[in-house]
Structure formats: structure tokens, C-alpha cells
Structure 1
Amino acid sequence: MNKNSFKKSAMVLTLTSALGTSMAASAAVELYNAEGTSFSVDGYFNAFYVNREDAVLDTRDTRIKMGFLPNTIGFNFRKEMGDLVLGGRSSFWTSINDSLDSPTDTAIDVRQFYATVDGAFGQVLIGKDFGLFARSNIFLDEILMGFGSPGAAGGVSFGNIRAGYPYPTPSAQITYRSPDLSGFKIAVGALDPADTVTGAGDENSAPRIESEITYTVDLDGVVLTGWLNGRYQSSSNGNTTIDSSGVGYGVKGSVAGFSIAASGFDSKANSPVLVVNEALTEDRADGYLIQASYAFGPNKIVLSHGKTDAEILNLKTESNTFGFFHDVNSNFKLVAEYNMYEDKNRTSGVLSTDTDTIAMGAIVIF
């Protein structure tokens, strides 16, 4: 994949990157609840003062930007129907950094628009949602509400995407989730496949298959969470066949305010950034993320180190972040962060990005 392909991925990522894992469950405002039917709304608003020094371009730039999570509003539905519970979620994600390019205009994208059917058997989800490959890698990232590594000029930052894990791109899917099985949860989904070959006669004879197994246990106050996720699909065009596969994994342990997490991924014929329709080779990519945090009172300190080595992009990246989070109250959070990020050509070793970023932000959640 050449640099233009990476730039294409970066531009797509500004429209569909980062995510809010549990906004609907953690901070929703209930608007209606009667006779087994409920409706709630949740929102996430943030802005960061960002000062960045770029050693490659020899520039220092100041911006007011979104963080790793864009601003969003979500709507949640639930209705009890005998032994089944029908649900649904639609969420709308917006940039606050596009008005200078298109005055008074705001880019809005829909990352979740799905229905769920819950019962004793577990849950079936139909619609658009985040993927399963690398899902817990990013959902359990300690700087999810921070800033992280640089992004494109008009969108969100990239957090640790392409410097520790790829993005679980929201996709059309039919996904089954098991009930809790003594701490284990299993998810398997058929997702809309990506076109990884180009030209007339492109063929995807089967959907993209993704899955994830998670396990959580509390051992006398030590909470451990482990996960294993994966992806497989095959695309062809005449004599050309591209078999894409990937595995993600990780473990996180927490006790008495301390938390340590380690995760990683290994993939073939997958972009280490995100899923898009583009011609790929069967080159590999891998990466890892190591984090430690300590929470005391309303405060949390985070140290984060991530790397990705991608043959498929001829790219090596490294991101190091120190973050401080302060909860003013349950709906208002302040963040201060320092990030050092670099990427380079893995063949020549030439740096294409070398930045130090200071980000200070405020987050309002409801």
C-alpha cells in the first residue's frame, strides 16, 4: 500500500474514528418509561486546547479541537414483549472542526443504527455497529476520553489507533452475543465485507466474519478481564484472491485504584488503521499497547505506550502518552495530556511524523 492509500484511510478515519463504549448505559437521561417501554437520550461533548510541535515540519501549531471521541448524541429504545426484550440504538457523531472549510456546515456521521432482540438465549443485533475485531482493545483503552496521537486537521485525534491497535470500523452486521457464562461472553458476527481487490468482477462470496470472547473475574478484589477477538474474509477477482485475517488479544487487571493492561494484534491483508474498500496485499501488521493507571479520589493518572509495525503500509509508529483526568462531578471531566508520537518508513527509517502534543480539555456527559 502506498502513501496515498494511507492518506485515504486517514481521511476516512476523520469521519468515522473513535467511539463511545457505554454512553447509553452509563449516563443516559430517561425520557419515557411506562408499560414496559422506555426511551432515553445520552450525549457527549468535549473540546481541547491543543498545542503541537512538529519536528519534521519545524512548526508549532495551536488548535481548539475534539479529543479522541467526537461529540455525539444517542437515542436508546427498549420494549418488553413477553419473553423477549426488543431494543435499539441510533447515535450521531459530529465534528466541531469543519466550519473553517465549510462555514456553518457540520459533518455528521451515523456509527450506530441497530435493533436488538434479547432473551434467555442471549442477544441478536441487526444493523450498523462497531466491529468485533480489536473491539475490546480500543474500548478498554485508558485514554479513550483523552486525546492521544495526532489526527487529520479537520477531525478527531487518533488516540492509539495505528499505534497499538486498528479501528473496529462501524459496519452493517448481524451479530449474536451469548448470555454471561460464568464470566465468559461470546460474540460472533457476519459483517458486510470490504472490497480488498479492485477492478471488474470483484467477488465476495461470503461475509466478513468477526468474533470476540471476553472473560471477567473478581478474585478477592482483584478484577481481571481478558479478551480474544478475530476477523476473517476472502475476496477475489479472476486469478487474484486476498485472504484477510486478524487476531486481537489483551488482559487488564485492577486492584485498589491501580490498573495495568496489555493488548496487541496481528493481522494479514488488513489495514492497521481501519477497514475501507481498497486493494490490499497479503502483507502483515502487528502492534501492542501497554498501559498503567492509578485512580485516587476524583483523579486518575495514566501512562500509555503503543507501537505498530506494518509491512502492508511500510510503516512503523510509536506513541507515548501521559494523561491526568479529574472528575469535577459525575457529568463533568477535565483532562490534561502530553503525547509524543512518531511514524517512519519501516524500510528507510525516514521519519514522516515526529510530534509532541500538549492537550487540555473539558468533557460534559449526560
Structure 2
Amino acid sequence: MPVIKRLLCGLAVVATLFSVCPAQAAFVVGGEDGWSFSTDGNVNLFLRYATADARPDNVHSAFNTLSDGEESFRTRSGFLPGVLAFNIKAPTMGGLDMAARVGFYPNPQNANTKNSFSGQIDLREIFFTVDGNFGQFLVGKAFSLFQGQNCLTGMSVYGFAIEGAVSGGGATLGNIGYGYIYPQFNAQVRYTTPDFHGFKLAVAIHDPSQIIGSGVGPDGSTVITPEATETNTPRWEGELSYAGIYADGDGSFKTWVSGLYQTAKFVDDSLYDDDEVTAWGVAGGVQLGYKRYELVASAFTGEALGSTLMLDYDSLDYTGEERETMGYLLQGTYTWDNRFGKTKLGICYGANRMDETSAEKEVRAATGNGELKQQDVITVGLFHDINPHLKLVLEYNRAKLEWFNDGKQEVDIIALGTFFMW
């Protein structure tokens, strides 16, 4: 009988998943002895049109975030891909609450081709948590701490913003490289303290990354990519946050500071002045809400972080020296209710700036070649919730790149999108 009972319970779970009403916020199914299963996610699609200046001559960027002299139309996902996530919760045992999450992040578009048989399905999340009066332990692949809040508090989470290559098959960049560097989903063991009067501290041991550079060498044309690939210590990340309310509950605030530290060694240290490079960074911000208004300000600085994707793209110059990077994001939104639902109007400015190393200055003086100096974008967005599950987005972006030899490039992107969320 116990076997038959479990089989019938399993069939009931499957039947419920296929028959549940789409209007529900999530599918939650109870099992035996306190076990539960739920799912959440979204499907989104954007129509976007862009015009871009031609990239100037004699400039170098390891990661080209703007298209090159193109006028183009595409139908694709926004910054957030589609999401299908599964959550499993165990019954409380011995004062411990245990749960797991597996999240798939697929994209609806091909890579600008009619025929594609390898759609990108990004397994971003696979982790479990253990909660108790001691706080929480998280084990697995999850969103990283350093600059995580800088990313999640930006309005481009449900928008489009910067795109990357026109032919891209993945999600857009949002403000990645234009206000923050992408935190990414990484393997980690994380501990978070209990809430102490609004304060929380999280510390994580991460799977270390190779630290890789990219730069034009002394001849002015050859791209050299120094690679520090020997990682014999973990990457450490941490975040201290404080959240609360004010004005009798009409206002809320959140502030945070996060950090990163990691080293990596060159396999052949005879090619470089030092055999080891060090990546470090500090980020922080504040999110302030009052009634219908919200302001967000965040920033970061550090060395060997890169311009857009963290650590393993353009963190070093061609000699293996750590590059310095800083960035910031300023954002304001206003939300109001109306007869058609809830509407939010927002404006955001984000920028990342890279310092020029002494070796890069010498190359520029001798050859005229310029490395990337700054990426910035101003975004105006209108977000309308028809109901809690159906969202419309209209967004305009004007982005600009600058190089140290005064090269410049601009692009305009207009996007119209929709989300179904559960």
C-alpha cells in the first residue's frame, strides 16, 4: 500500500502541473510528510530597432558591446531571458529548513538565423539552502554577491538596455558594462547571518576564475592576451546590507556594500614582471523609496575586474598589469495606478570607466592605437503591469563608447516588449 500511495501521489502532482490555472503566481504542490514542490518563471519577447555608428579605426575593445555601423531589427528576449525554475522544500527537521532550486534560463531567438538546432538553455541556478536560527547556508550555483545588488536594483532587469552583438542568441546586456560589471552565476558556498535589526552579512567562497587580459601590443596591431590561469586559492566575496522603513511605513530603504578578492598566477611567469595578479573590488549603493517614488544610486571600483564581463576578458593590459575600473548608476522612477493597471516611468544613467596603464599610454603615443576608456548609456523606460502576470515595456536607449585616442561611437536602440510571469 505505501508504494501504491506514493505512486498515486506522484500522478496527482503531474496532473496538477498540467491543469493548474495560468493566473496563479506560482504552482505549489504539497507532497507527503510536509514536502512541497513549486515552479516560477517568465516568458518575454522584445521587438527592437537600432542604428549604430561605425566603430572608429585604430581602437581596441576586447568585448564589443555595440554593433558596428548597422541599422537593424530583431525579435529577441530582453536582459532577463525566459525562466523556468523548480523549487523543492523539505519538511522542517530538527529546527532546519531545507530547500533546493534549479533554474533554466532559455532564450526565444536564434542567433539571427532562420535555422538553428541548438537553442541556448542556460542553467544558471542549481543550489540548496539550509536555514536555522544560525542564519542560512547556500551550496551550489547561484548569483554572486559582488555587485549583485548593483545589478538587481537597476530597472533594466525587466528591460532591454544594451544589446551586444546584433546576431546574439543570448540575452541582452542591460547595464552590464554601463554602470556595473556582470556578477554572473557561480559555484559557491555562502553563509548569511540572521537579520539583526535590519543588518545582514553574507560571505561566500567561490570557484576561482582565470584572470585574463587583452590589449594591443607595441606594434599597434597585434592583440596580446595574457592569461593567469593557475588558481590555487578560492575567490572570496561578501556583502553587508541594511534595510528598513521610515515615514510611518510610507518609505523604505536599502543600502549595501560588497567586495571581491582573488589571485591567479601565470603559468609561464618569465613573460611578465610579476608571476601573480590580484583582482579586488568594492561596490555599494542605496535604494530609497517614498510612496510612488524611488531613487537608486550605486557604484564600484577595483583592479583586474574588466570592463564588462568580470575577470576573464580584459582585466589586464598586454603586459599582464592589472587594469583599474570604476562605474556608477543613477536611476529614478515614479509609479502610479490607473484604470488599465499599474505604470512605472523611469530614467537611468550608467557608465563604466577604465584607466589607461603606462604601457597602453606608450602604445598610443607610438602608434595612435586607443584602448577602451568609457561606456555609458542613458535609458528612458515605461513599464506597465496590466495585471501581476502580464507586463508591457517600452524603452529608449542612447549609448556611447569612447577610447583613449578620442575615438567615439554612438548607438540608438528602441525596444517594445512583453512579459508573462508566474
Aligning the two structures, in what range does the TM-score lie when normalised by the shorter sequence? 0.7 to 0.9
Between Structure 1 and Structure 2, the one with more strand by share is 1
Q: Shift of residue 201 of structure 1? A: 9.2
Distance 2:246 2:69 in 1: 51
Q: Which residue of 2 aligns with 1:287?
A: 327
Matched, 1:72 2:49: no
Could you tell me the TM-score, scaled by structure 1's length? 0.88
Count of residue correspondences? 339
Secondary structure of the 1:138 match is helix
Secondary structure of the 1:39 match is strand
**239, 255, 258: which is aligned to 1:229?**
258
Matched, 1:321 2:379: yes
Q: State the identity %.
A: 32
**404, 407, 413: which is aligned to 1:350?**
407
Q: Which residue of 2 aligns with 1:11?
A: none
Q: CA, structure 1 residues 63+201, in 2 after alignment: closer, same or farther (shift >3 Å)?
A: closer
CA contact (8 A) 1:123 1:177 kept: yes
CA contact (8 A) 2:211 2:228 kept: no
Q: Which residue of 2 aligns with 1:243?
A: 278
Secondary structure of the 1:144 match is helix
Counterparts of 1:126-137 in structure 2, within 5 Å, are: 126-137=139-150
Distance 1:288 1:173 in 2: 26
Could you tell me the TM-score, scaled by structure 2's length? 0.76
Q: Deviations over 1:163-219 (max 9, x none)?
A: 000111111100001111110111100001111269899432320000011111101
Matched, 1:332 2:390: yes
Give structure 1 stretches of 5+ with no counterpart: 1-25
Q: Which amino acid aligns with 2:125?
A: Q
Distance 2:244 2:205 in 1: 28
Secondary structure of the 2:149 match is helix
State the superposition RMSD in angstroms.
Answer: 2.0
**72, 76, 101: which is aligned to 1:89?**
101
CA contact (8 A) 2:395 2:415 kept: yes
Distance 2:228 2:377 in 1: 40
Larger deviation, residues 188-197 vs 230-239:
230-239
**119, 142, 160: which is aligned to 2:132?**
119
Q: Which residue of 2 aligns with 1:273?
A: 308
Q: CA, structure 1 residues 327+269, in 2 after alignment: closer, same or farther (shift >3 Å)?
A: same
Distance 1:354 1:200 in 2: 31
Give structure 2 stretches of 5+ with no counterpart: 1-23, 55-67, 213-224, 357-370
Q: Which residue of 2 aligns with 1:176?
A: 191
Distance 1:327 1:70 in 2: 18
Distance 1:261 1:86 in 2: 33
Q: Which residue of 2 aligns with 1:54?
A: 52
**392, 396, 399: which is aligned to 1:341?**
399
Counterparts of 1:299-310 in structure 2, within 5 Å, are: 299-310=343-354
Q: Deviations over 1:131-165 (max 9, x none)?
A: 11000001111221011112222222111110000
Q: Which amino acid aligns with 2:355?
A: E
Q: Shift of residue 33 of structure 1? A: 4.8
Bigger Rg, which one: 2
CA contact (8 A) 1:295 1:301 kept: yes
Q: Deviations over 1:274-311 (max 9, x none)?
A: 23545733110001000000000100000000111023
Distance 1:103 1:205 in 2: 39
Distance 1:199 1:338 in 2: 37
Q: Which amino acid aligns with 2:173?
A: F
Q: Which amino acid aligns with 1:365?
A: M
Between Structure 1 and Structure 2, the one with more helix by share is 2
Q: Shift of residue 344 of structure 1? A: 2.1
